[in-house]
């Protein structure tokens, strides 16, 4: 009875009318009026001041209404959650993703997800810019680095580790650095996020001879593979080139920055089934080792330049 009365009271307040509330609830106006009167009698307080034209909440009534409204929202959310369990994911799923992660990994994951749930449609933007999912209406944004906006939910996918690499041809001409300090004598291929003056090493300030900088890690890998110099490349991008001997890992004791990759989405009370299901599916496909993010067949084609 208490929950029913709270629902009646909430509807009366939101409709600003006993008549409209009664119509919405499928009750007689007299029944609604009597339920409110009994509620006030049971609580021992006046919740509403009534006139012939207006309804006004008392101070106690305002506090009671806010609590009742929250209860109604929680109840609706519980029903929504149960209903979602009975439904398959469907509708348009909008995703933004860093270019390389999208090309090398997310495409095949999304394809498998859409095969499992044929009612899903998708729009995917591969981009190097930082996307705000709220402002741009994106369901899920894959971002490097945790977002500062506390209203967003960030789910960590994996850590991206970098390592120093060079081609056999470069090392044959310029020699193999035996110590971190010897990097000062070598040609550096850098990302725009790196310092232009120093090698991207943690706890070290080793000056570099920058010969190339770019904003794309695949471009950097290909330049290094062709002999341009030494670069700090993510394992995901360089693993199979290293396995094939097309790149040589250098100075494994060197510590390079580690980036965290997150799936970011708006904080909503009612998260769509399509979003929740895809996030769970994506997490289930993330391997334990970063190098396994790239399939061997795809890797062979990439390292052959195909």
CA atoms within 13 A on the CB side of 74: 7
The phi and psi torsions of 44 (rounded to 5 degrees) equal: 75, 25
Topology of domain 91-158+260-303 in CATH is D-Maltodextrin-Binding Protein; domain 2 (3.40.190)
Token pair listed for 179: 């110590």
Q: What is the DSSP string of 67-129?
A: HHHHHHHHHHHHHHHHHHHTS---EEEEEEE-HHHIIIIIHHHHHHHHHH-TTEEEEEEE-SS
Look up the pTM and report it.
Answer: 0.64
Q: State the maximum Cα–Cα separation within the chain, in Å, rounded to a whole number.
A: 95
pLDDT higher than threshold 70 for residue 290: no
Give residue 297's pLDDT band: very low, low, confident or very high (50, 70, 90).
Answer: very low
Q: pLDDT (tens digit, 9 = 90+) per residue, 77-110?
A: 777 766 665 578 888 999 999 998 999 899 999 9
Instruction: Pick 2-85's CATH classification: 1.25.40.10, 3.40.440.10, 1.10.10.10, 3.40.50.970.
Output: 1.10.10.10
| Beta bridge partner(s), residue 48 | 57
Residue with tokens 């056999």: 168
What percent of the chain has a predicted confidence (pLDDT) above 70? 89
CA distances from 248 to 164, 178, 187, 239 (A): 8, 13, 15, 10
* Architecture of the 160-258 domain: 3-Layer(aba) Sandwich (3.40)
């Amino acid at each position: 009875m208490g929950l029913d009365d709270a629902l009646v009271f909430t509807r009366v307040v939101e409709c600003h009318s006993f008549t409209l509330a009664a119509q919405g609830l499928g009750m007689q106006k007299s029944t609604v009026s009597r339920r409110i009167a009994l509620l006030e009698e049971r609580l021992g307080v006046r919740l509403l001041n009534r006139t012939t034209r207006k309804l006004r909440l008392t101070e106690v009534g305002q506090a009671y209404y806010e609590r009742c409204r929250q209860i109604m929202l929680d109840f609706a959310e519980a029903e929504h959650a149960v209903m979602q369990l009975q439904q398959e994911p469907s509708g348009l799923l909008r995703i933004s993703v860093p270019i390389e992660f999208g090309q090398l990994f997310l495409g095949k994951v999304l394809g498998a997800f859409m095969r499992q749930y044929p009612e899903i449609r998708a729009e995917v933007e591969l981009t190097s810019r930082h996307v705000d999912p709220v402002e741009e209406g994106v369901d899920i944004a894959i971002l490097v680095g945790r977002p500062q906006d506390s209203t967003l939910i960030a789910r960590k996918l994996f850590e991206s580790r970098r390592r120093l690499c060079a081609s056999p041809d470069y090392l044959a001409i310029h020699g193999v650095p035996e110590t971190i300090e010897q990097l000062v004598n070598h040609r550096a291929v850098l990302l725009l996020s790196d310092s232009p003056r120093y090698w991207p090493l943690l706890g070290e300030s080793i000056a570099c001879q920058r010969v190339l900088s770019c904003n794309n890690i695949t471009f950097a890998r290909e330049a290094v593979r062709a002999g341009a110099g030494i670069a700090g490349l993510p394992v995901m991008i360089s693993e199979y080139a290293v396995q094939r001997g097309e790149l040589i890992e250098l100075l494994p004791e060197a510590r390079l920055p580690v980036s965290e990759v997150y799936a970011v989405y708006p904080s909503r009370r009612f998260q769509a089934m399509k979003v929740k299901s895809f996030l769970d599916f994506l997490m289930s496909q993330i391997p334990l080792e970063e190098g396994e993010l790239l399939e061997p067949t795809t890797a062979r084609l990439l390292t052959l330049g195909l």
